[in-house]
Chain A
Amino acid sequence: MEKELGIYIHIPFCVKKCNYCDFNSGSFSDEIKALYVDALCKEIEIKSEFFKDYIIDTVFIGGGTPSILPYEYIGRILEALRSFYSVSDKAEISIECNPGTVDEDKLINYRKFGIDRISFGLQSTDNDELKILGRIHTYEEFLESFKLARKAGFENINVDLMSAIPDQTVESFKKSLKNVCDLNPEHISVYSLIIEEGTPFYDMELNLADEDDEREMVHIIPDILGDEYTQYEISNYSKKGYVCKHNIKYWVRDEYLGFGVSAASLLKFNDFKELRLKNTNSVRDYINIVNYDSELIKKFTDFDIYNPFYSENIILSEEDTMSEYMIVGLRMNRGISKRDFYDTFGKDVYGSYGDIINEHIKEGLLKDEQGFVSLTEKGRDLANYVWKDFI
Chain B
Amino acid sequence: MTDQSKIRNFCIVAHIDHGKSTLADRIIESTGLLTSREMQAQVLDNMDLERERGITIKSQAVRNVYKAKDGEEYIFNLIDTPGHVDFNYEVSRSLAACDGAILVVDAAQGIEAQTLANVYLALDHDLDVFPVINKIDLPSADPKRVIDEIEDVIGIEAQDAPLISAKNGIGIDEVLEAIVHKIPAPKGDVNAPLKALIFDSIYDSYKGVIVFCRLMDGRISKGSNVLMMATKATCEVVEVGTFGAGQFFPCDELTAGMVGYFTASIKNVRDTAVGDTVTEAKNPCKEPCPGYKKVHSMVYCGVYPSDGAKYPDLRDALEKLQLNDASLNYEPETSIALGFGFRCGFLGLLHLEIIQERLEREYNLDLVTTAPGVVYHVHTTAGEMIELTNPSNLPDPSLIEYMEEPIVSAEIMVTTEFIGSIMELCQERRGRYLGMEYMEETRALLKYELPLNEIIYDFFDALKSRSKGYASFDYDLKDYERSELVKLDILVNHEEVDALSFIVHKDTAYERGRKMCEKLKDEIPRHLFEIPIQAAVGGKIIARETVKAMRKDVLAKCYGGDITRKKKLLEKQKEGKKRMRQIGNVEIPQAAFMSVLKLDDKK
A: residues with CB less than 8 A from B are 8, 10, 191-194, 211-212, 214-215, 234-235, 247, 249-250, 256, 258, 262-266, 276, 278, 312, 323-324, 327-328, 331, 363, 365, 380-385, 387-389, 391
Q: Once the chains are docked, how many angstroms separate the CA of A383 from the CA of B573?
A: 12
B554 touches which one: A8, A250, A384 (CB < 8 A)?
A384
Shortest B577–chain A CB gap in Å is 7
B-side contacts of A266, CB under 8 Å: 560
Shortest A166–chain B CB gap in Å is 16
For A215, A263, A323, A387, which residue has the most chain B Cβ atoms within 10 angstroms?
A387
Contact B553 A384 (CB under 8 A): yes
Contact A250 B560 (CB under 8 A): yes
Assess A264 versus B560: contact at CB under 8 Å? Given A214-B552, A382-B528, A382-B554: yes
Assess A194 versus B552: contact at CB under 8 Å? Given A258-B560, A324-B563, A388-B570: no
B: residues with CB less than 8 A from A are 528, 550-561, 563-564, 566-567, 569-571, 573-574, 577
B-side contacts of A212, CB under 8 Å: 551
Q: Once the chains are docked, how many angstroms separate the CA of A278 from the CA of B559?
A: 13
Shortest B474–chain A CB gap in Å is 45
Contact B567 A324 (CB under 8 A): yes
Known: A214-B552, A381-B552, A391-B567. 17 other contacts (CB 8 A): A211-B552, A215-B551, A234-B554, A250-B563, A276-B563, A324-B563, A327-B566, A328-B558, A381-B553, A382-B550, A382-B553, A384-B553, A384-B554, A385-B553, A388-B577, A391-B571, A391-B574
Query: From A189, which residue of chain B is reached at the shortest CB distance?
Result: B557
A380 touches which one: B554, B557, B559, B567 (CB < 8 A)?
B554
Shortest B551–chain A CB gap in Å is 5
B555 touches which one: A247, A250, A265, A383 (CB < 8 A)?
A383
Query: From B557, which residue of chain A is reached at the shortest CB distance?
Result: A191
Contact B571 A211 (CB under 8 A): no
Contact B556 A192 (CB under 8 A): yes
Shortest B360–chain A CB gap in Å is 27
Contact B564 A278 (CB under 8 A): yes
Shortest A291–chain B CB gap in Å is 23
B553 touches which one: A264, A276, A383, A389 (CB < 8 A)?
A383
Shortest A252–chain B CB gap in Å is 12
Shortest B543–chain A CB gap in Å is 25
Assess A235 versus B550: contact at CB under 8 Å? Given A328-B563, A384-B573: no
Contact B564 A312 (CB under 8 A): yes
Contact A381 B554 (CB under 8 A): yes
Contact B552 A382 (CB under 8 A): yes
A-side contacts of B561, CB under 8 Å: 8, 10, 258, 262-264, 278
Contact A247 B552 (CB under 8 A): no
Q: Once the chains are docked, how many angstroms separate the CA of A215 from the CA of B559?
A: 22
Contact A247 B559 (CB under 8 A): yes
B570 touches which one: A193, A331, A387 (CB < 8 A)?
A387
In the A-B complex, the 7 residue pairs with the smallest Cβ-Cβ separation, listed nearest first, are: A264-B561, A383-B554, A264-B560, A388-B574, A384-B553, A388-B570, A192-B556
Contact B560 A8 (CB under 8 A): yes
Q: Once the chains are docked, how many angstroms separate the CA of A134 from the CA of B423?
A: 55
Shortest B19–chain A CB gap in Å is 42
B-side contacts of A263, CB under 8 Å: 560-561
Q: Once the chains are docked, how many angstroms separate the CA of A256 from the CA of B562?
A: 14
Q: Once the chains are docked, how many angstroms separate the CA of A389 from the CA of B575?
A: 11
Contact B553 A250 (CB under 8 A): no
For A191, A323, A384, which residue has the most chain B Cβ atoms within 10 angstroms?
A384
**CB pairs A–B below 8 angstroms (24 shown):** A192-B556, A194-B557, A234-B556, A234-B558, A235-B556, A258-B560, A263-B561, A264-B564, A276-B563, A312-B564, A324-B567, A327-B566, A327-B567, A363-B528, A381-B552, A381-B553, A382-B552, A382-B553, A382-B554, A384-B570, A385-B553, A387-B570, A388-B574, A391-B571
A-side contacts of B573, CB under 8 Å: 384, 388
Shortest A375–chain B CB gap in Å is 9
Shortest B82–chain A CB gap in Å is 44
Query: From A256, which residue of chain B is reached at the shortest CB distance?
Result: B560
Shortest A310–chain B CB gap in Å is 12
Query: From A380, which residue of chain B is reached at the shortest CB distance?
Result: B554
Contact A250 B559 (CB under 8 A): yes
Shortest A256–chain B CB gap in Å is 6
A385 touches which one: B528, B560, B569, B571 (CB < 8 A)?
B528
Q: Once the chains are docked, how many angstroms separate the CA of A256 from the CA of B563?
A: 13
A391 touches which one: B551, B560, B570 (CB < 8 A)?
B570
Query: From A265, which residue of chain B is reached at the shortest CB distance?
Result: B560
A-side contacts of B574, CB under 8 Å: 388-389, 391
A-side contacts of B551, CB under 8 Å: 211-212, 215, 381-382
Shortest A383–chain B CB gap in Å is 4
Q: Once the chains are docked, how many angstroms separate the CA of A264 from the CA of B303?
A: 47
A-side contacts of B560, CB under 8 Å: 8, 249-250, 256, 258, 263-266
Q: Once the chains are docked, how many angstroms separate the CA of A247 from the CA of B557?
A: 11
Query: From A365, which residue of chain B is reached at the shortest CB distance?
Result: B528
Q: Once the chains are docked, how many angstroms separate the CA of A285 from the CA of B489?
A: 61
Q: Once the chains are docked, how many angstroms separate the CA of A166 from the CA of B446?
A: 54
Shortest B576–chain A CB gap in Å is 9
Shortest B431–chain A CB gap in Å is 43
Q: Once the chains are docked, how many angstroms separate the CA of A192 from the CA of B550?
A: 17
Shortest A132–chain B CB gap in Å is 18
A-side contacts of B558, CB under 8 Å: 234, 250, 328, 331
A-side contacts of B571, CB under 8 Å: 388, 391
Q: Once the chains are docked, how many angstroms separate the CA of A365 from the CA of B574?
A: 17
Q: Once the chains are docked, how many angstroms separate the CA of A247 from the CA of B559?
A: 7
Q: Once the chains are docked, how many angstroms separate the CA of A312 from the CA of B567?
A: 14
B-side contacts of A234, CB under 8 Å: 554-556, 558
Q: Once the chains are docked, how many angstroms separate the CA of A256 from the CA of B561?
A: 11
For A211, A276, A365, which residue has the most chain B Cβ atoms within 10 angstroms?
A211
Q: Once the chains are docked, how many angstroms separate the CA of A327 from the CA of B555?
A: 11
Shortest A89–chain B CB gap in Å is 24
Contact A385 B550 (CB under 8 A): yes
Shortest A94–chain B CB gap in Å is 12
Query: From A257, which residue of chain B is reached at the shortest CB distance?
Result: B560
A-side contacts of B569, CB under 8 Å: 384
Contact A327 B552 (CB under 8 A): no
A-side contacts of B559, CB under 8 Å: 247, 250
B-side contacts of A391, CB under 8 Å: 567, 570-571, 574
A-side contacts of B564, CB under 8 Å: 264, 276, 278, 312
Query: From B561, which residue of chain A is reached at the shortest CB distance?
Result: A264
Shortest A177–chain B CB gap in Å is 15
Shortest A96–chain B CB gap in Å is 12
Q: Once the chains are docked, how many angstroms separate the CA of A262 from the CA of B561?
A: 7
B-side contacts of A194, CB under 8 Å: 555-557
Contact A191 B556 (CB under 8 A): yes
Q: Once the chains are docked, how many angstroms separate the CA of A256 from the CA of B571?
A: 24
B-side contacts of A276, CB under 8 Å: 563-564
Q: Once the chains are docked, how many angstroms separate the CA of A143 from the CA of B577?
A: 47
For B560, B567, B573, B574, which residue has the most chain A Cβ atoms within 10 angstroms?
B560
B-side contacts of A10, CB under 8 Å: 561
A215 touches which one: B552, B555, B566, B577 (CB < 8 A)?
B552
B-side contacts of A249, CB under 8 Å: 560
A-side contacts of B577, CB under 8 Å: 388
For B550, B561, B563, B573, which residue has the most chain A Cβ atoms within 10 angstroms?
B561
